[in-house]
Chain A
């Protein structure tokens, strides 16, 4: 802990990191210290970095963000709109800090644990140590390093062998204060044969600029299944940078739904490694943005073992002067024979100033594989529009309906009806307002 940040903006972000209390586990303190060292050495990425080529972080660096000491006053009514009726449990964090009064502890089946990370570290240290701050790599990722350096508030979710929880676990992260930085961390462990569903939900009250830098780590054991729904519906001034790393053992399943509606600038990194044979991943993504928003999604699907499958579908609807970025990497390592991996990037441009940069990327080192990717960019199909108009729909309504349908295809696959209703209502309202 002797070095200081090379980059002045990184130094300003790290200013509060000294206030992070010592953890109950020495190994965690060591990992935090190593991450701090790493963050000190890294600079804020620029568009000259291939990984950030289309996403300019200058607007972020013009503002100052610090973690807050206490959560702001938020009433249950303030967040009522975000309730998910089906949820088994709800944990609410305001500006990165857990608020017990807003959370709802439900009844969980035996074998399923949902706890604050700080509490879990005391009880389940041995279970956590092999995974926490191990799955997400800090080496070249400033934001992951920052999150680990600030690692304090977060959630630990564990399903013991064969434990099944069908109802989703709802984690609601509410940003409220100007200049507040929050560094939430989630660790999800699904033991052999278990099943879990987690909703990570990021919202913002008001219109203040805040920074959310979230990291989630998920380890899925053989035959286990994790469904991961990530919603980002922050305000139009917010900055959101999230990284998620998933590792799949033999025959494990990971189903991801990422929904991006909010933030002035958002970046979503998802990295899935199939470390065992026959694993399956389904990766869905939808971004609906307008105004001057920028939504950047980077995914990495790493097939390292034979017989793995992956289906990926990422859609963007871009209006106003918004800018959508997608980069989807698929690696098929030597030895990952009989992999079947597909990826689609579909982009709908609604206005003259909207912009899309998409880069589906395949790197294949095994010969007996089936891999395909496709990318399209365009506007609404004239024939489809004509069909609807010939049925008597006015132009505007026909357009909205088609735009809505484009997005709904992804949203409808989320098996949580009340959430689907919420999201579809939002998409409808937004398309009617002209995105």
Chain B
């Protein structure tokens, strides 16, 4: 049985190919001139350049964090190119897009226009660092929703960007957030005005294409009073041998009665079975429930990247606000994941739920690290956390580091964690019913992750189920 498992575990990365598009790349290295160059290229206003420079100067004073339970060779920040744009510049319609690029999407199985039309999804495609095309913008504009690249937003809606950017993740928040604030090149901006329920799921595709170009997106989603939005993010990246750094910042702001749902399926190149290559995914994601009765929900399925280091968090400031975190993190071969969430309860009667499922196989290491903090004024706050781990094979590791800090006696915090493996009994039961091992494993794992998959929008749930199957089929022996 183990040989079956081995072959399944060692499935080659299906999305590993390089698209041959000439890119316009900045020289390697990071200094104030490069930042000025990025800002000038993007024709940015002075206040944004100041924001970048301040972040850069702060970054210089900071040290790389050492506390995550991951190990990797030191990153040479001067060996990275901080700006790469596909040469054929912005196109008005899909027809004008480089056919090479379209073929890339084809290979990825994302027939964008069809998919967009069929599923009613507006796709803001990010290819390396510049938005290539934005669809459905007009339809969204009808109801007053602004959905565009952050560079466009800087030009067309500077007051909104200025007001909210950096309000949830300050420029100096942490090492990688500061770096991002200094050099971010593109990303998405989404603004849902008062009382509007977004008529469709919003989604973006991120890909890292040029070798050695780190990608530093910045996403900002603002939902005004009573607004509602569901945002999807999916990722794949081509195969490279040198490690690539990805340090994104995502900020969500929910005002009174607003509801933001942010879903991610991440399947970046994880390196080969010896741990060579792969993406370093060091991301800062944070949502601020600013208003009363607001709600922010994070759902993530993390299956790729050599190293995943992210903690999508909720700051529950408004009274009765709700934070949710649903996560499936799967690691195989030499992958390392240190991921989890932070729920910071500041307002009265705030509630949060954390459901985290970690699956480790091969020689991988999977850690859950979470913080539940109940501030002194968070009367009646309530948290429930559950983090379950599943180990496949005896060479992998599963760790949990939950931090619980409570400063209010009326709070109620519960945390549960379990560790298990796929039992022989379970497999035997399936086999006795005529279900082959591979399929049985896939079913057991999907059952293990069901609580999280249920939270994903339909099309993502399908993709995620397939993804886990692909990555893990038969890795039990």
A371 to B387, CA, bound (A): 12
- Name A374's contact: one of B376, B416, B419, B420 (CB within 8 Å): B416
- Name A349's contact: one of B398, B399, B409, B416 (CB within 8 Å): B409
Check if A351 is an interface residue, CB within 8 A of chain B: yes
Does B419 contact A351, Cβ atoms closer than 8 Å?
A: no
Report if A350-B414 is in contact (Cβ < 8 Å); known contacts: A359-B401, A366-B394, A373-B400.
no
Interface of B is mostly: strand
Does B419 contact A356, Cβ atoms closer than 8 Å?
A: no
Does B419 contact A369, Cβ atoms closer than 8 Å?
A: yes
A50 to B413, CA, bound (A): 22
Report if A377-B376 is in contact (Cβ < 8 Å); known contacts: A367-B394, A368-B421.
no
B: residues with CB less than 8 A from A are: 67, 374, 376, 389, 391-421
Q: Which of A368-389 contact B (CB under 8 A)?
A: 368-379
A364 to B364, CA, bound (A): 12
Q: Which of A327-364 contact B (CB under 8 A)?
A: 334-335, 337, 347, 349-364
- Name B417's contact: one of A54, A353, A360, A369 (CB within 8 Å): A360
Does A356 contact B405, Cβ atoms closer than 8 Å?
A: yes
Does B404 contact A349, Cβ atoms closer than 8 Å?
A: no
A-B contact pairs, 20 of them (CB 8 A): A50-B67, A351-B409, A352-B376, A354-B409, A355-B406, A356-B404, A356-B405, A357-B405, A360-B400, A362-B389, A362-B419, A363-B397, A364-B391, A364-B399, A365-B396, A369-B391, A370-B419, A373-B417, A375-B404, A375-B413
Report if A358-B404 is in contact (Cβ < 8 Å); known contacts: A372-B416, A375-B415.
yes
Does B402 contact A375, Cβ atoms closer than 8 Å?
A: yes
A54 to B415, CA, bound (A): 19
| Residue among A50, A335, A347, A377 with the highest chain B CB neighbour number at 10 A | A377
Does A374 contact B404, Cβ atoms closer than 8 Å?
A: no
Does B417 contact A374, Cβ atoms closer than 8 Å?
A: yes
Report if A372-B409 is in contact (Cβ < 8 Å); known contacts: A50-B67, A352-B376.
no
- Chain B neighbourhood of A369, CB < 8 A: 391, 419, 421
Distance from B420 Cβ to chain A, minimum over Cβ atoms (Å)? 7
A232 to B61, CA, bound (A): 44
Does B410 contact A363, Cβ atoms closer than 8 Å?
A: no
Q: Nearest CB to that of A327 among chain B residues? A: B403
Report if A378-B400 is in contact (Cβ < 8 Å); known contacts: A366-B394, A372-B418.
no
Q: Nearest CB to that of A336 among chain B residues? A: B394
- Chain A neighbourhood of B399, CB < 8 A: 361-364
- Chain B neighbourhood of A365, CB < 8 A: 394, 396-397
A371 to B397, CA, bound (A): 13
Q: Nearest CB to that of A381 among chain B residues? A: B412
Distance from B342 Cβ to chain A, minimum over Cβ atoms (Å)? 14
- Chain B neighbourhood of A368, CB < 8 A: 394, 421
Does A379 contact B410, Cβ atoms closer than 8 Å?
A: yes
Q: Nearest CB to that of B377 among chain A residues? A: A352
Does A362 contact B417, Cβ atoms closer than 8 Å?
A: yes
Does B408 contact A352, Cβ atoms closer than 8 Å?
A: yes
Distance from A252 Cβ to chain B, minimum over Cβ atoms (Å)? 24
Does B417 contact A355, Cβ atoms closer than 8 Å?
A: no
Distance from B5 Cβ to chain A, minimum over Cβ atoms (Å)? 12
Q: Nearest CB to that of B410 among chain A residues? A: A379
- Name B391's contact: one of A349, A357, A361, A367 (CB within 8 Å): A367
Q: Nearest CB to that of A354 among chain B residues? A: B409
Does B397 contact A364, Cβ atoms closer than 8 Å?
A: yes
- Chain A neighbourhood of B408, CB < 8 A: 349, 352
Extra inter-chain contacts (18) besides given A362-B419, A367-B421, A372-B417, CB under 8 Å: A54-B405, A337-B394, A352-B376, A353-B376, A354-B409, A361-B401, A362-B400, A363-B397, A364-B389, A364-B397, A365-B394, A368-B394, A368-B421, A370-B420, A377-B406, A378-B411, A378-B413, A379-B409
